[in-house]
Structure 1
Amino acid sequence: MDELRRIDLNLLLALHALLTEKHVTRAALRLHKSQPAVSHSLSQLREHFNDPLLVRKQGKLELTTKGSMLLQPLSEALGNLNTLLGAPAFDPQHAQRRFRLALSDYAARLVLPNLLRHVRKHAPGFDFAISLASREAMLVQLADGELDLALGIFPDRPQDIQFETLFEDDFICLADKTTVPAKGGLTLQQWLERPHVMLAVRPDAFDEIERALAALGRKRRIAVTLPHWSAALELLPETDLVLTIARRAVSSQRLSKNLRQFAPPHQLPLAKMAYQQAWHARKDNDPGLSWLRQVIMNSCQTNLG
């Protein structure tokens, strides 16, 4: 107990955040403190432990041997202390919370309506700030603490980000019906000779279609890149444009009578997409976010399964 008297217990929370995040700004976001305040705490901790704890290597902070030795026992001790103090059970009906979500136009239509209907009934104090970003930007924002949850397709899986598959989807093609055979669709060569509409937040995006083409040593011409699937559908009638899109994006839509739906060329191996929700490991034990993730999962299994 003598050692406990020598240190402010709030410094142990700061130490855990710093050792876990290995980043002063992210630790500050986690602790809801300013960056200068956390930097000051780090200075105090270095003096107390007589060790730098975090050192900069190749532009990043890395744990010292002492810092690495402290992380696991500190996590266990704080977890035990939290259990001892007995935080009240989470009650969504009375909780007040604002969540920061990133999701595409596609997910907004598929997931958001059912989610909000459930939330307004069972967690009326929950508010949402929703943004649109590329999958790469979503992962960075999760790591930096700017987002609570992101929904999308994530071929890259950073170590500290947790993923959970909500549902799977496959691809279909759409084009003006006068430009596509009534049966059989297009061969790969015919498909490649056509100009394409690409759904992406970034004009230089390298999505599942581009990956599949690259594996074949081929490339398509992208005539239009835009982030809105509903607007993309309006571009197709009376043009030679082709749109390759997730099937669920248009499954419940009344398509223009001028459009024809067909399968992608069989020579182009497009695997099913796993649509996922992603969050940072630091939020694993956040009761509000855990409740929200489960609601999203249940909604997708019920309505999209």
Structure 2
Amino acid sequence: MLQNNFSKVIRSDINLLVTLYFLLENRQVSRTAKQLYIGQSAVSHQLNRLREMFDDQLLVRTAAGMMLTPFAEQIYPTLGNVVADLEVLLKKKNKNLHPHPHPIKDIYRICVPEDTYIEDVSVLFYDFAHDENIRDNVTFEVFNRYDSCISDLNEGKIDFFFGSSDNLSGAICSSKLIETEFCLAVRADHPLANKTVQLADIVKYPWIDILFREKANSYANEHWGEAINNMRCVLKTSSANAAITLLSHSDAICSLSDDIINKRGLAQVKTKNKIKITNYLYWHKIMGDDAFHRYIREGLISRYVSENINARK
């Protein structure tokens, strides 16, 4: 039941509470501005308004960085619940007015570029199916690249294919997702960790080669081949997870995407050459008559791009 002083809520800018949540979470104006897609000056202005609204400094600068005031510490959990509830509310839709198309088959097969992405993509598909109330109608089969995956895609045996490849037939359709930067990766305490080096500096270290990366490996050879060709390859594997495990237990070097490097607590070896690859979602044109495939494809593309952009901030 609404309280008598609800007029305060009506007169207030509720967007300010969203800004406040991210400010308290990040303790940083610049990062909050990036997440909200607005300028730092706008966030600073909103912080001043919030300080007036609550009659509290909320964030104060200390030698250790920006810190929450006792009052901000008190309201932070409540703000988190408010933002989460808003997100759930905005996702809701009347399923009876907008029913989803019925799937034409029981299983849809999804191929991801490397096993490091299987968990994220599996959760992405599951959450989408849950939110759209379709999880009882279909099974998603998620797996990573293998010897004949390109052939299977070209023959229509794979329904969703994430990655980047040039060896595709004219029957394959695509939609652009995100751009990935590949870097030389090492364990966090490696002698070259976070250092800017010349290619000659990496030759004495072992190399790990990850298979089934047509474009990434081609670019790696183009930019780092002078060194790679003179390094001792200690492992060839289709599993990026296996490569990461060996990186963590050796002085080896491997090419990995920047998001995986950050996510797994690894470090970059910085060179003047950087590899940027555009990732796509591919599917066979025989799926053109599958309205259910199109329905989840369009929804997943926007969700995948949004989640990956936010994860990189």
TM class, shorter-chain normalised?
A: 0.5 to 0.7
Q: CA deviation at 1:247?
A: 1.2
Q: CA deviation at 1:115?
A: 2.3
Map Cα deviations across residues 271-290 of structure 1 (whole Å, 9 max, x no partner).
Answer: 31111111112222311111
Q: What CA distance in whole angstroms lies between the structure 1 residues aligned with 2:224 and 2:195?
A: 21
Q: Which residue of 1 aligns with 2:40?
A: none
Map Cα deviations across residues 242-263 of structure 1 (whole Å, 9 max, x no partner).
Answer: 122011224333x2xxx5x124
Q: Which residue of 2 aligns with 1:213?
A: 221
Q: Which residue of 2 aligns with 1:127?
A: 139
Is 1:303–2:299 an aligned residue pair?
A: no
Is 1:279–2:283 an aligned residue pair?
A: yes
Q: CA deviation at 1:215?
A: 6.5
Map Cα deviations across residues 105-153 of structure 1 (whole Å, 9 max, x no partner).
Answer: 133233321221121231121211233324x733311222322221122
Q: CA deviation at 1:297?
A: 0.5
Task: Give the one of 97, 110, 124 matched to 2:106.
Answer: 97
Identify if the C-alpha distance between structure 1 residues 285 and 241 changes in structure 2 by more than 3 Å, giving closer, same or farther: same
Secondary structure of the residue that 1:192 maps to in structure 2? coil
Q: Which amino acid aligns with 1:246?
A: S
Is 1:114–2:124 an aligned residue pair?
A: yes
**Residues 136-175 of structure 1: matches in 2 within 5 Å?**
137-175=148-186
Map Cα deviations across residues 213-256 of structure 1 (whole Å, 9 max, x no partner).
Answer: 24676343332122332332221245221122011224333x2x
Q: What CA distance in whole angstroms lies between the structure 2 residues aligned with 1:166 and 1:173?
A: 23
Identity %: 14
Secondary structure of the residue that 1:223 maps to in structure 2? strand
Q: What CA distance in whole angstroms lies between the structure 2 residues aligned with 1:238 and 1:184?
A: 19
Identify if the C-alpha distance between structure 1 residues 158 and 239 changes in structure 2 by more than 3 Å, giving closer, same or farther: same
Q: Which amino acid aligns with 1:133?
A: R
Q: What CA distance in whole angstroms lies between the structure 2 residues aligned with 1:99 and 1:133?
A: 16
Give unmatched runs, 5+ long, in structure 1.
1-88
Identify if the C-alpha distance between structure 1 residues 287 and 178 changes in structure 2 by more than 3 Å, giving closer, same or farther: closer
Using structure 1 for the length normalisation, give the TM-score: 0.58
Q: Which amino acid aligns with 2:129?
A: V
Question: 8 Å contact 2:186–2:251 — kept in the other structure?
Answer: yes
Task: Give the one of 290, 301, 304 matched to 2:294.
Answer: 290
**Residues 241-280 of structure 1: matches in 2 within 5 Å?**
241-253=252-264, 255=265, 261-266=267-272, 269-280=273-284
Question: 8 Å contact 2:183–2:275 — kept in the other structure?
Answer: no
Q: What CA distance in whole angstroms lies between the structure 1 residues aligned with 2:293 and 2:200?
A: 47
Q: Which amino acid aligns with 2:122?
A: L
Q: What CA distance in whole angstroms lies between the structure 2 residues aligned with 1:101 and 1:147?
A: 6
Identify if the C-alpha distance between structure 1 residues 183 and 251 changes in structure 2 by more than 3 Å, giving closer, same or farther: closer
Question: 8 Å contact 1:180–1:186 — kept in the other structure?
Answer: no
Identify if the C-alpha distance between structure 1 residues 200 and 192 changes in structure 2 by more than 3 Å, giving closer, same or farther: same
Q: CA deviation at 1:207?
A: 4.5
Question: 8 Å contact 1:169–1:272 — kept in the other structure?
Answer: yes
Is 1:234–2:239 an aligned residue pair?
A: no
Q: CA deviation at 1:178?
A: 5.2
Q: What CA distance in whole angstroms lies between the structure 2 residues aligned with 1:107 and 1:181?
A: 26
Identify if the C-alpha distance between structure 1 residues 188 and 209 changes in structure 2 by more than 3 Å, giving closer, same or farther: farther
Instruction: Give RMSD over aligned pairs.
Output: 2.9
Q: What CA distance in whole angstroms lies between the structure 1 residues aligned with 2:177 and 2:127?
A: 18
Question: 8 Å contact 1:151–1:278 — kept in the other structure?
Answer: yes
Question: 8 Å contact 1:208–1:270 — kept in the other structure?
Answer: no
Q: Which amino acid aligns with 1:160?
A: A
Q: What CA distance in whole angstroms lies between the structure 2 residues aligned with 1:265 and 1:215?
A: 10
Secondary structure of the residue that 2:201 maps to in structure 1? helix
Q: Which residue of 2 aligns with 1:13?
A: none
Question: 8 Å contact 1:143–1:161 — kept in the other structure?
Answer: yes
Give unmatched runs, 5+ long, in structure 2.
1-96
Q: What CA distance in whole angstroms lies between the structure 2 residues aligned with 1:189 and 1:299?
A: 42
Aligned length: 206
Q: Which residue of 2 aligns with 1:191?
A: 202
Q: What CA distance in whole angstroms lies between the structure 2 residues aligned with 1:129 and 1:176?
A: 32
Secondary structure of the residue that 1:163 maps to in structure 2? strand
Question: 8 Å contact 2:118–2:143 — kept in the other structure?
Answer: no
Secondary structure of the residue that 2:208 maps to in structure 1? strand
Q: Which amino acid aligns with 1:111?
A: V
